[in-house]
């Protein structure tokens, strides 16, 4: 991806909050890559993921028109939570930023739930797609 002018602040570098938009896009793309498109797999089944925690460590500034890449990894998968780690790389392979998010599964009323109990088939598919990251 390329840093857009609209991603930057008055100092001419990427605005700190923009990284979280990129992280969100990374999550959506990760799910899609593994055959779990977010809207049809989660959202339309009233499985919403609300952020409980988020953080980012900014290592190197990113400038307009600079090419960067984002790596998104599913870090934790439990019956009530899902967590991701993110790394943004410059073209030379050096990390520009690293972050994380932790989300809870909530229904359309915002009430948390156990995904294995409410959506057992989805839980099984997530375990198959992301082995080694789950806690029963």
> What pTM does this model have?
0.92
* Run of H or E residues at 117: helix 115-118
Quickly tell me which residue has 């999550």 as its tokens.
Answer: 27
Domains of the chain: 5-129 (3.10.129.10)
Other CB atoms closer than 10 Å to residue 136's CB: what's the count? 7
pLDDT digits (tens, 9 = 90+) for 15-40: 999 999 999 999 999 999 999 999 99
Q: Are strands 95-106 and 48-58 parallel, antiparallel or unpaired?
A: antiparallel
CA distances for 87 relative to 1, 46, 70, 73, 95, angstroms: 13, 29, 6, 9, 7
pLDDT digits (tens, 9 = 90+) for 41-95: 999 999 999 999 999 999 999 999 999 999 999 999 999 999 999 999 999 999 9
Average of pLDDT values for 117-135? 87
Give the closest residue to 14 by CA, choosing from 63, 56, 65: 63
């Amino acid at each position: 991806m390329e840093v857009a002018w609209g991603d930057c602040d008055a100092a001419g570098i990427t605005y700190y909050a923009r990284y979280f938009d990129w992280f969100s896009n990374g999550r959506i793309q990760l799910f899609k890559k593994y055959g779990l498109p977010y809207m049809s797999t989660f959202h339309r089944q009233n499985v919403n993921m609300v952020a409980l925690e988020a953080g980012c460590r900014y290592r190197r500034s990113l400038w307009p028109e600079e090419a960067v890449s984002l790596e998104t990894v599913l870090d934790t998968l439990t019956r009530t939570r899902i967590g991701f780690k993110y790394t943004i790389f410059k073209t030379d392979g050096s990390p520009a930023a690293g972050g994380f998010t932790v989300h809870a599964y909530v229904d359309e009323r915002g009430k948390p739930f156990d995904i294995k109990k409410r959506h057992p088939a989805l839980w099984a598919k997530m375990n198959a797609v992301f082995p080694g990251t789950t806690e029963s």
